[in-house]
Amino acid sequence: MNRILIDYEKCTGCRICQMVCSQRFVDGGFNSRAAAIRVMVKGIFEADVPVTCLQCKKPLCSEACPTGAFYRDAVTNAVMINEEKCIGCGKCAEACPFGTLFLHPSRIVPIKCDLCSGNPLCVQHCPNEVLSLKSETVVGEKKRKQLSEKIATRRVNK
C-alpha cells in the first residue's frame, strides 16, 4: 500500500498542493477549504505543516461510519468513501485521530485523500519535493537511517 510522505523541513507554505488538490473537489475552480491536503500553520515560529490522510491499515474513520460508506480501492488500496452511501453525518471526521478528514464546504460527502487513483496531484505539483508517494515498506526508512547514523556517531565519539 502506498501513502503520501511529508518532509516537513522542506515545506515553505506555498500551498500549491492544497490548490491543485481542491480542483478534484470543486467544479471548475479552486477552494483551499475543499482540499484533502491542508497546510496548517503551527507553533511560535509559524511552521507550515501539511496534513493529509495516512491511509491507516485500521481506519477509525471507516469504523465510525454508520452506513458503511468506506471501502478500500482495489488498485491503490486507498481508503475511499462511497458517496451514494454517505449521509454526511461527520462521524468519520470526528473519529480520525489525525484530523485529516475534512467536511466539504458545500457538499454532503467529506473530503478525504484518495491518492488520485495512484498519482497524487499534490505530489506531482509540489515545487520543493516536500511530498512523495511511497510504499509502506519504506515509510520508516528515513527514521531508521537517522537513528543508525546517530548510534554510529556516538560509538565513534566514545
- Residue 58 is predicted with a pLDDT of 95
- Residue 67 is predicted with a pLDDT of 98
- Residue 153 is predicted with a pLDDT of 79
- Residue 88 is predicted with a pLDDT of 93
Specify whether the CB–CB gap between 31 and 22 falls below 8 A.
Answer: yes
- Residue 41 is predicted with a pLDDT of 86
Q: CA-to-CA distance for 34 and 36, rounded, in angstroms?
A: 7
- Residue 72 is predicted with a pLDDT of 96
2-157: what CATH class?
Answer: alpha beta
Residue 43: count other Cβ atoms within 10 Å of its Cβ: 8
Spell out the domain ranges in the chain. Answer: 2-157
Q: What is the mean pLDDT of each run of 10 residues along the chain (158 residues)?
A: 89 94 85 90 79 94 97 94 95 95 88 94 96 82 79 72
Please work out, in degrees rounded to the nearest 5, the angle formed at the alpha carbon of residue 51 by the alpha carbons of 103 and 132. 125
